[in-house]
Amino acid sequence: MVKAFPAKQQRSEQTHEKLLQAGLDLLRDGLFDDISIAQISARAGCSVGSFYLRFRNKEAFFEFLFESISKKLQADLLSSLTPKSIKELTLAQTVRHCVDHYVETNRQYESIIRAAVQYSINDSADWQPVRDNGLKLHAHYINLIIGKLRTPNSEQARNQVLVGLQIISGHLVNSIIHPVNNLPLSDPALNHWLFEVVMHCLKVKLPASAMSQPKKVQLRTAPPAKKARTQRSK
């Protein structure tokens, strides 16, 4: 299915970027169902006609936006959270580093996740890009954490880490969709408690000296993908 039409000129590409950024901004301010094409176009500083030159409808626009964010996040993950970057960290610090990254990712893209869940009410497949992205994050974290264990090839250990990540993933998504009083997404103590969940699943007892925390994870902020690669449908 075509989600976006190709942007062939520099000016057209700039308009394309502005539309994507406008959609992201509007999602931070409100719900998917409340956003209109006219609002997106006005926020981007272009006409409704310019919108339709690039996207078939609002649904195609947001599907492309979701996928663009997912690609950007994957690129950032592979460049910022690597075996080399955690080489000097202990097991506990590595787990904490991964948990911090996961929490900060959910905080940064809270509006996108909320919109994707809301959007999926009409069609469960619409949640797929966000779900796939979460699975890729889990796989990346698991490989980093397992590399710090004495038994790195242990299938049991992999399953233990996966269970921990699934538990905290459920809490994070629930905090975004249904704001909670206990450990909401904005709670400074959230990272610590989710870290404890993963460590508990790993069944690792930690001495006080192992609880030191790595530097806070900083996610790079950039506009969505610059250019769509799909072709105009006939």
Place of tokens 């006409």: 47
89 is a domain residue: yes
224 is a domain residue: no
Q: Which of 17, 39, 55 is the last residue of a domain?
A: 55
What local confidence, expressed as pLDDT, does residue 121 receive? 65
**CA gap 100, 60 in Å, rounded:** 32
Using alpha carbons, select from 85, 94, 100, 102 the residue that is nearest to residue 204. Answer: 94
How many CB atoms sit inside 10 A of residue 137's CB? Answer: 21
Cβ-proximal residues to 158 (8 Å cutoff; 6+ apart), any chain: 142, 146
Least confident piece of the model among 18-32, 41-55, 80-94: 18-32
Share of the chain above pLDDT 70, in %: 77
Asked whether residue 150 falls in the same domain as residue 42, the answer is no
Asked whether residue 90 falls in the same domain as residue 22, the answer is no
Total number of domains in the chain: 2
Buried b / exposed e along 55-90 (16+ C-beta atoms within 10 A): bbebbbbbbbbbbbbbebbeebbeeebeeeebeebb
**CA gap 57, 43 in Å, rounded:** 17
Q: How many Cα neighbours within 13 Å face the side chain of 227?
A: 10
229 is a domain residue: no
* Maximum distance among all Cα pairs of the chain, rounded to whole angstroms: 64
Q: What single-letter DSSP state applies at residue 185?
A: T
What local confidence, expressed as pLDDT, does residue 205 receive? 67
Asked whether residue 67 falls in the same domain as residue 50, the answer is no
The amino acid at 67: E
137 is a domain residue: yes
Q: How would you class 104 by CB atoms within 10 Å of its CB: exposed for 0-12, middle for 13-18, buried for 19 or more?
A: middle
Range of the domain at 39: 8-55
Asked whether residue 38 falls in the same domain as residue 82, the answer is no
Confidence of residue 229 (pLDDT cuts 50, 70, 90): very low
Asked whether residue 76 falls in the same domain as residue 168, the answer is yes
Q: What's the rounded mean pLDDT across residues 29-42?
A: 86
222 is a domain residue: no
What local confidence, expressed as pLDDT, does residue 204 receive? 74
Asked whether residue 89 falls in the same domain as residue 107, the answer is yes
Asked whether residue 76 falls in the same domain as residue 171, the answer is yes
202 is a domain residue: yes
Least confident piece of the model among 71-85, 121-135, 157-171, 191-205: 121-135
Asked whether residue 74 falls in the same domain as residue 119, the answer is yes
Asked whether residue 127 falls in the same domain as residue 83, the answer is yes
- Angle at CA 224, nearest 5°, toward 223 and 225? 125
